Amino acid sequence: MRVALLSDTHIKSRAAHLPHWVREELRAADHAIHAGDFDSRPALEEIRSLVADHTFVGGNMDRAFDLPEVATADLGGVRFVVTHGTGPDANYESRVVAIVDEYAAADRPTVGVSGHTHGVLDTTVDGYRLLNPGSATGAWPAQEATMMVAEVADGDLDVEVRRE
């Protein structure tokens, strides 16, 4: 299963549109996970239209969109716990891992997906792999547009950062 991971698109406040290559990655995915800060209803609807199966959470810029703060997706034998990660940078990883731990699965690997910082992260904290795909549009303070693509099967997860 191919899973597209993205966050912090910030369309229209910080970026004019979703890059073409991100649209192509979404179309090629079996499932998309967006960790919040769509920033506009047109951005949310465009991303929703590009992939039929998806898991979305709201970020601090998405309060009007009635999206959950935390969502889970069980894909290819892996539980994904998705949250935006809103709050100060100082406690970011511990804040995210506390949420992941609360929603973790006992019978399969659990991975946290979050955004908010606009920086790419792939690390392990307290036994959980934490992924932050950065900003798919390169919205400030990101230095480039990034997302992640994961291949998931039988509880194994292979993740690549995509950038252009």
Residue-wise pLDDT tens digits, 92-128: 999 999 999 999 999 999 999 999 999 999 999 999 9
pLDDT at residue 49, as a whole number: 96
pLDDT above 70 coverage of the chain, percent: 100
pLDDT at residue 108, as a whole number: 97
Compute CA distances 62 → 9, 54, 69, 151, whole Å.
Answer: 11, 17, 10, 28
pLDDT at residue 126, as a whole number: 97
Q: Nearest CA to 156 among 123, 127, 129, 135?
A: 129
62-70 contacts: CB < 8 A, separation 24 or more?
Answer: 62/36, 62/37, 62/38, 65/38, 65/41, 67/36, 70/99, 70/103
Range of the domain at 147: 2-163
Q: Distance between CA atoms of 45 and 43, rounded to whole angstroms?
A: 6
Note whether 26 and 32 are within 8 A (CB): yes
Strands 156-163 and 128-133: unpaired
* Residue 20 exposed, middle or buried by CB count within 10 Å (0-12, 13-18, 19+): exposed
Note whether 44 and 23 are within 8 A (CB): no
Domain count, the chain: 1
pLDDT at residue 164, as a whole number: 80
The pLDDT of residue 60 is above 90? yes
Structure tokens of 146? 């990034």
State the chain's mean pLDDT as an integer.
Answer: 97
pLDDT above 90 coverage of the chain, percent: 98
User: How large is the average pLDDT for residues 78-104?
Assistant: 97
pLDDT at residue 98, as a whole number: 98
Q: CATH code at 141?
A: 3.60.21.10
Q: Give pLDDT tens digits for 5-41.
A: 999 999 999 888 999 999 999 999 999 999 999 999 9
pLDDT band of 148, cuts 50, 70, 90 = very high
The interaxial angle of helices 20-28 and 41-50, nearest 10 deg, is 40
- One-letter amino acid for residue 80 of the chain: F
pLDDT at residue 79, as a whole number: 98
